Amino acid sequence: MKKILTGLQPTGTITLGNYIGAIKQMVNNQDKYNSYLFIADMHAITVKQDPKTLHQNIKNLLAIYLACGIDPQKNTIFIQSENEYHANISWFLECNTSFGVLTRMTQFKDKSKKNEKFTSGLLTYPVLMAADILTYDVDYVPVGIDQKQHVELARDIAINFNKVYGETFKIPKPLITETGTKIMDLVNPTKKMSKSSENQNGVIRILDSEKEIRNKIMKATTDSDNQIKFDVENKPGISNLINIYSALTQLTIKEVEQKFLNSSYAEFKKATADLVVNELTSIQEKYQQLINSKQLNEILDNGIKIARKEAKTKYELMKTKIGLGR
């Protein structure tokens, strides 16, 4: 059975973008693949985190995974920092990755611009991500399009390592949905909807109330002609809503356009809000049942056992290939 793996950072309540770009893909694929899903808490500390909030966010994210339909019977679920081999493997890979390549990563360029005192972890972040992926010899990595470059880097790192030290890693591929790959901010639809966004009105969070969701969608920025047509360049706001509608219904962009051919923007927004509310309310109900359950620890205990065992094997193999140890 082919393998998939993805991780999300516990940097706040996840957004509709994270849900569509990463989690929903994992849910849709969990019957087809041997699935690994982890909480990327070590990636979260590449930028400043309050320890108490981070700790709470980790638990919340696990409950959200399950509430979104991730089945613990079908997924190996674990916390990245509980598997010490990731950081070890990351170091081996770092020593085989050029500094220049890392400085050219889009996310590094964006995030380092925002804070002059950025950490060196922010630069090496994609190598840790490569370690997460390559450790488990995965075939596909479900991510939003913003992470495609990092998965491609993981590929390059694997190809290069195999060339230098002999066959060690499987070469992974990104798995990106055809539609809705990048959900945009509702207020500023040329910017990615992001967990860490400052303007809350542009971001739908998975635990937002019905009222909040409806308000945000009804007020979403749109253009002034009244045609529901997909055109990212000239109609980014409407295109974003079409993307959301399409991702949540599995209708194609064309089918969504057709369905709302004679509708006004207000009608289309209301239909989109209904859809999002419907999808998120059932997740929220499950989340409330799960958040304090004992089941969460059991799932993590199970997951980390499997993950550590596999990671140890890869770590030992790498050590031997590189010539480390006695």
Q: What's the order of all strands across the beta sheet hosting 34-39? A: 75-79, 34-39, 3-8, 140-142, 173-175
Q: Residues 30, 46, 60, 147: which binds ligand LTN (CB under 6 A)? A: 147
| Nearest by Cα to 295 from 132, 24, 70 | 70
Tell whether residue 206 is a contact of ligand ATP (CB under 6 A).
no
Say if CB 149 and CB 106 are below 8 A apart.
yes
Compute how many other C-beta atoms are within 10 angstroms of the C-beta atom of residue 285: 11
With CB under 6 A as the contact rule, which of the stretches 7-15, 60-68, 204-212, 305-313 interacts with ligand LTN?
7-15
Active site residue 269: no
- Residue 78 is given by DSSP the state E
Taking residues 19 to 48 in sequence order and writing x for each that binds ligand ATP by CB under 6 A, - otherwise, the string is -xxx--------------------------
Active-site annotation holder among 3, 59, 74, 111: 111
Per CB under 6 A, contacts with ligand LTN among 195-254 are none
* Residue whose structure tokens are 């990092």: 150
Q: Which is nearer to ligand LTN, 8 or 228 (by Cβ)?
A: 8
Q: Which is nearer to ligand LTN, 4 or 220 (by Cβ)?
A: 4
- The DSSP bridge pattern shows strands 140-142 and 75-79 to be unpaired
Q: How far apart are the first and last CA of the chain?
A: 36
- In angstroms, rounded to a whole number, what is the distance separating the alpha carbons of residues 274 and 280? 10
Say if CB 172 and CB 140 are below 8 A apart.
yes
Q: Which is nearer to ligand LTN, 129 or 280 (by Cβ)?
A: 129
Which residue number places its CB atom closest to ligand ATP? 21
- In angstroms, rounded to a whole number, what is the distance separating the alpha carbons of residues 217 and 222? 10
Q: Residues 63, 193, 238, 276: which binds ligand ATP (CB under 6 A)? A: 193
Active site residue 24: no
Active site residue 192: yes
Tell whether residue 105 is a contact of ligand ATP (CB under 6 A).
no
Give φ, ψ of 193 to 5 degrees: -70, 120
Give the orientation angle of helix 120-134 with respect to helix 106-114, to 10 degrees. Answer: 150
Q: Which partner from the list ligand LTN, ligand ATP, none does 276 bind, CB cut-off 5 to 8 Å by kind?
A: none
Taking residues 216 to 255 in sequence order and writing x for each that binds ligand ATP by CB under 6 A, - otherwise, the string is ----------------------------------------
Compute how many other C-beta atoms are within 10 angstroms of the C-beta atom of residue 210: 14
Tell whether residue 11 is a contact of ligand ATP (CB under 6 A).
yes
- In angstroms, rounded to a whole number, what is the distance separating the alpha carbons of residues 324 and 91? 13
Per CB under 6 A, contacts with ligand LTN among 125-144 are 129, 132-133, 141, 143
With CB under 6 A as the contact rule, which of the stretches 6-14, 68-76, 78-86, 293-301 interacts with ligand ATP?
6-14
- Residue 184 is given by DSSP the state B
Q: Which partner from the list ligand ATP, ligand LTN, none does 228 bind, CB cut-off 5 to 8 Å by kind?
A: none
| Nearest by Cα to 213 from 25, 15, 77 | 15
- In angstroms, rounded to a whole number, what is the distance separating the alpha carbons of residues 277 and 216? 11
Q: Residues 194, 240, 246, 272: which binds ligand ATP (CB under 6 A)? A: 194
Q: Which residues bind ligand LTN (CB under 6 A)?
A: 5-9, 40, 43, 129, 132-133, 141, 143, 147, 150
Q: Which residues bind ligand ATP (CB under 6 A)?
A: 8-9, 11, 15, 17-18, 20-22, 143-144, 146-147, 182-183, 192-196
Positions annotated as catalytic residues are: 111, 192, 195
